[in-house]
Structure 1
Amino acid sequence: MIALKTPLTRLMAAALLASTASLALAAPAMAGADGAVKIGILNDRSGPYSDATGEGAVVAARMAVEDFGGKALGKDVEIVSADHQNKADIGSSTVNRWLDVEGVDAIFDVPNSGVLLALQEIVRNKDGILVSSGGGVSKFTGEACSPYGFQWSYDTYSVANALGRATVAEGGDNWFLVQVDYAFGEALAGDLTKAITEAGGKIAGSVKHPLNTPDFSSYLLQAQGSGANTVALINAGGDTVNALKQAKEFGLADSGQKMVAMLFFNTDVLAIGADDLKGLTAINGYEASLNAETQAFGERFAKLHGTWPTSLQIGVYSAVNHYLKAVEAAGTDARDQVAAKMREMPVEDLFVKGGKVRADGLMIHDMLLTEVKPSSESKTRGDVFKVVRAIPGDEAFRPLDKGGCPLVK
């Protein structure tokens, strides 16, 4: 070893040691970026959306990676996951750590539109790609759009447009809205109001409730006294389940008011019971009982997770599959090239045929108007909806030039 005999050599050595330490600290992020293609699943693991997304979304992502062969560009594909607890600050700190330290390349799912919009800005200004399956706020691909943000399963516009217009056409022309009080509820209520009024209906009144509230009695009593013939539940997951159970206790459906759940999944049917839902209609992006191939996927998923996949969990499978195809096609996991390939390539998998990703990041595909089956007609625990009709994506989703996305020329 050479002795450090002068102040200059000591300073040079100190600088070298500092540089080496800095590189060591940076190593985890570099290893994540260079040594593997790393995917993060961020969602609600413990709150009202945990059944519809939660661990099932992680299972779906693992299935997509397995079906892809476990590697991309010859590198292992790794999955990490976390619970954002429906809090934007927790979601933001998790994603900052994933991008800055852990080398995550792409983030998927993100139910809760408030969290989703916060992450859009982080990813826009840092690195990575953000693909939402659970979060539906239409602003995400509208005025808040990003070259690196994609919306996969649905958005508030498509749900409101398809279900609102279909219900008005069937005579449900006077509505009362029971909406969750955060960005998702505000966006869906606005999109639904527009769809209803354009179809010739009207809004009799509305009320907001906190996220994850256990007691809907005061809100349902207001709906019951409104004179509306249709009551829309503008919420999801546990909130929708609790509201529908309590609406039955108050006798809203028995008094002639039609209950409309704007986001409703097979897990919700199982939580309530099909025979208590009397043919409730819902809009879903995907349905696992469509054909023999999708049914086989549902059975495989159920063996791993215990229930059949929701449309949001299926959306994670489809989105991860498309992302990995884009990585391979781009020949790199650098986000600019991958994001460009995601827009360029058609979306083709078990559930999406001829899907297309627009300039604003919205994936256009058919939306399904579904109706809850009586339990006597269900062949499996996953077979709870029948498809009334498929609504073409170009009809269901907002026109490209109407969202205000700056990426649209």
Structure 2
Amino acid sequence: MSARDFAEELLNKADIKINGDRPWDLQLHNDTTINRALAYGNLGLGEAYMDGHWDAEQLDVFFEKLLRAKVAKQISPSRLFFHVIKNRWFNRQSKRRSWEVGQKHYDIGNDLYQSMLDKRMVYTCAYWAQASDLDTAQEHKLELTCRKLGLKPGMRILDVGCGWGSFMKYAAENYGVECVGVTISKEQVAMGQELCEGLPVEFRLQDYRELNEEFDAIVSLGMFEHVGPKNHRTYMEVVNRCLKEDGLFLLHTIGRNVGGTMPDPWIEKYIFPNGELPSIGQVGKAAENLFVVEDLHNFGASYDKTLMAWQQNFEQHWPELQKNEKYDERFRRMWRYYLLSCAGAFRARDIQLWQWVLSKQGVPGHYQRPSI
């Protein structure tokens, strides 16, 4: 059987045709795409897309169908041996390496993120249960997070992986709290300080492992994905030593359904260096004897809508963004592949979004999850 015949057989299981007439069908512009995908998996497929060697009008649906049909499990990429060894044996999220994702992803340019994100600059999953637009959905996520933590005026809050300070700004303005945020992105600190000027909010360019002071509550929105399984326990120990005995910790993280699988090589190379999604088991193991799990809330389906909104904003602002020479057509295709492939993954429920609420001693009586 030829490589093309094999690919057509696999894609047919996902209701995808090569050069078909439906918007999710793969339009093949270069025959090397098939061999690249079979040899390198999503790394080869993604790089071929960046090179303009194939297209799909509805890329998000293309990936949703691929993932629902579990096509990737039927391919054993022959040239990813080093990727497997590197992820199993090395601590890719060490203190020295932890700054790489800041430099290569979060410091790309604030103009990109201002164009793509909501007005509050929230770069994590929004909460769409009662919202119909991105700004409202992100505000609802921030409000829900504050309510889950039981914030009260005068509290001192730690935000681990604070981004541009969207949560800290919202919490300070609406709940009268003081906030300290740590990030490994110089651009986020610079812009965040401007956005939060005049508020009791402090930004620190700092690795989380250096934290050693006490806070009334701790929040971490979309940072745990950068910690890595070799450091999960260390991360939980840091949070434990920084949280007051009666405080709450909210962990907001993307997660995968099965532990022990390798990170996506294309995402790791082009989007989030050294990133690795945890499983429920890995988070639970890291928290053992340190925390009581009070609540676990999965709203992963909301990330599909969030990513599609980001993609719409990105495309809408592309004419202005492309005036910056660092955002060329290859970057546009890379970013589109990132946003839409991830949207398809969340829609297929291949990956999840969890909000964990943890306490050190257990909330007396019981913890009641608030709503919006």
Question: For the superposition of Structure 1 and Structure 2, which TM-score range results when normalised by the shorter chain?
Answer: 0.3 to 0.5
Greater length-normalized contact order (CA 8 Å, ≥ 6 residues apart): 2
Q: TM (normalized to structure 1)?
A: 0.34
- The structure that has the greater radius of gyration is 1
